[in-house]
Structure 1
Amino acid sequence: MIRDILMYMDRTYVTTTRKTHVHELGLNLWRDNIVHSSKIQTRLLNTLLDLVHKERTGEVIDRLLMRNVIKMFMDLGESVCQVDFEKPFLEASAEFYKVKSQEFIESCDCGEYLKKAEKPLNEEVERVAHYLDAKSEEKITSVVEREMITNHMQRLVHMENSGLVNMLLNDRYEDLARMYSLFRRVTNGLVTVRDVMTLHLREMGKQLVTDPEKSKDPVEFVQRLLGERDKYDKIIVTSFYNDKTFQNASNSSFEYFINLNTRSPEFISLFVDDKLRKGMKGVIEDDVEVIFDKVMMLFRYLQGKDVFEKYYKQHLAKRLLSGKTVSHDAERNLIVKLKTECGYQFTSNSKPILPCNLPAEVSVLCEKFRSYYLGTHTGRRLSWQTNMGTADIKAVFGKAQRHELNVSNFQMCVLMLFNNSDRLSYKEIEQATEIPSSDLKRCLQSMAFVKGKNVFKKVPMSKDIGEEDSFVVNEKFTGKFYKVKIGTVVAQKETEPEKQETRHRVEEDRKPQIEAAIVRIMKARRVLDHNNIIAEVTKQLQSRFLANPTEIKKRIESLIERDFLERNSTDRKLYRYLA
Structure 2
Amino acid sequence: MLVTYHKHWQHYSRGSGYLNQLYGYLNSQFIHKQQHSEADINYGGFGIELQEQLLEIGALALDIWKRVMVEPLKENLAQLLLEEMEKDRRDGNVRQSIIHSVINSLVHVDEYKKKSPLKLYEDVFEVKFLRETGEYYHREALQLLDDCTCSEYMDKVIQRLDDEDMRSRKFLHPSSYCKVTKECEQKMVADHLAFLHSECRNMVAKEKRHDMSNLYRLLCPISKGLDIFVQDVKEHIKQEGLTAVASLKGDSVPSQFVESLLEVHAKYSDLITEVFKGDQHFIGALDKAFAAVINHRSNFKSNCRSPELVAKYCDSLLKKTAKGMSETEIDDKLSQSITIFRYLDDKDIYQRFYARMLAKRLIYTQFHSMDAEESMINRLKQACGYEFTNKLHRMFTDMSISSDLNSKFSDFCKEDSTDLGINFSILVLQAGAWPIGQNNLPTFAIPQELEKSVRMFEVFYGRHFNGRKLTWMHSFCNAELKLTYLKRPYIVTLGTFHMALLLPFNSSHSVSFRDLVDISRLPEKELLKQVQVLLDAKIIVSNESTATMDGVFSLNLEYTNKRTKFKIITSVQRETPQEVEQTMSNVDEDRKMYVQAAIVRTMKARKVLKHNALIQEVISQSRARFAPSISMIKKCIETLIDKQYIERSSTSTDEYSYIA
String of CA shifts for 1:364-413, please: whole Å, max 9, x gaps: 46852663355232343433444534322234667x66533223446546
Q: Which residue of 2 aligns with 1:532?
A: 613
DSSP 3-state at the match of 2:137: helix
CA distance 1:480–1:296, change in 2 (3 Å): closer
Which residue in 2 is equivalent to 1:501? 582
Matching residue of 1:144: 184
2:368 aligned partner, one-letter code: V
Q: Which residue of 2 aligns with 1:513?
A: 594
Q: Are 2:471 and 1:434 equivalent residues in the alignment?
A: no
Which of 382, 391, 397 aligns to 2:470? It is 382
CA contact (8 A) 2:134 2:187 kept: no
Kindly state the Cα deviation for residue 84 of structure 1 after the two structures are TM-superposed.
6.5
Q: Which residue is 1:361 aligned to?
A: 447
TM-score, length basis structure 1: 0.74
Give the RMSD, CA atoms, in angstroms: 4.7
Structure 1 residue 350 corresponds to structure 2 residue 438: no
State how far apart, in whole Å, the 2-side matches of 1:280 and 1:184 are: 48
Deviation at 1:270, TM superposition (A): 0.8
Q: Which moved more, 1:43-52 or 1:258-267?
A: 43-52
Aligned to 1:272: 314
Gaps of 5+ in 2: 1-7, 13-50, 53-62, 110-119, 298-303, 395-432
Counterparts of 2:151 and 2:279 in 1: how far apart (Å)? Answer: 32
**Greater alpha carbon shift after TM alignment, 157-166 vs 94-103:** 157-166
Equivalent of 2:649, from 557, 563, 568? Answer: 568
Measure, in 2, the Cα distance between the counterparts of 1:276 and 1:391: 23
1:252 alignment partner AA: K
- Equivalent position amino acid for 1:554 in 2: K
- Cα distance, 1:232 vs. partner? 3.4
- After alignment, is 321-330 or 369-378 more displaced? 369-378
State the shift of 1:327 in Å: 0.9
Alignment match of 1:54 (pick from 60, 68, 91): 91
Cα deviation per residue 1:460-488 (whole Å; 9 max; x = unaligned)? 99xxx999999986442213454444456
CA contact (8 A) 2:318 2:367 kept: yes
Structure 2 letter corresponding to 1:87:
R
For residues 369 and 359 of structure 1, the distance between their equivalents in structure 2, rounded to whole angstroms, comes to 17
Name the residue aligned to 2:458.
371
Choose the corresponding residue for 2:380, options 338, 355, 359. 338
Structure 2 distance, partners of 1:550, 1:484, is 51
CA distance in 1, matches of 2:558, 2:227: 72
| Structure 1 residues 194-249: Cα deviation after superposition (integer angstroms, max 9, x where no partner) | 22222222233334455454996112211222233333333444444443443333
Distance (Å, rounded) in 2 between the aligned partners of 1:270 and 1:529: 42
Aligned residue pairs: how many?
A: 533
- Tell whether the 8 Å contact from 2:528 to 2:548 is kept in structure 1 after alignment: no
Q: Structure 1 regions of 5+ residues with no counterpart?
A: 5-14
Q: Which residue of the partner structure matches residue 403 of structure 1? A: 490
CA deviation map 1:535-577 (0-9, x unaligned)? 2222222222222332333333333333333333443443333
- Report the CA distance shift for 1:417/1:498 in structure 2 as closer, same or farther (over 3 A): farther
C-alpha contact 1:388 1:408 (8 A) present in aligned 2: yes
Give 2:169's aligned residue: 129
Deviation at residue 306 of structure 1 after TM alignment:
1.7
Matched, 1:253 2:289: yes
Flag the 1:229–1:366 CA change in 2: closer, same or farther, 3 A: farther
TM-score scaled by structure 2?
0.66
Structure 1 segment 251-330 matched on structure 2, within 5 A: 251-261=287-297, 262-277=304-319, 278-279=321-322, 281-285=324-328, 288-330=330-372
Percent identical across equivalent pairs? Answer: 26
Q: In 1, distance between residues paired with 2:267 and 2:176?
A: 41
Give, in whole Å, the separation in 2 of the partners of 1:83 and 1:559.
69
**Partner AA of 1:343 in structure 2:** Y
Give the AA of the match of 2:447. Answer: E
Change (3 A) 1:526 1:45: closer
Equivalent-residue separation in structure 2 for 1:152 and 1:488 (angstroms)? 69
Tell me, yes or no, if structure 1 residue 94 matches structure 2 residue 150: no
Q: Which has the higher contact order (CA 8 A, sep 6+)?
A: 1
For residues 458 and 163 of structure 1, the distance between their equivalents in structure 2, rounded to whole angstroms, comes to 69
Q: Distance in 2 between matches of 1:357 and 1:77?
A: 98
For the pair 1:546 / 2:627, whether they are aligned, the reply is: yes
- SS of alignment partner, residue 353 of structure 1: coil
In 1, the alpha carbon distance for the partners of 2:99 and 2:74 equals: 18
Aligned letter for 1:353?
A: G
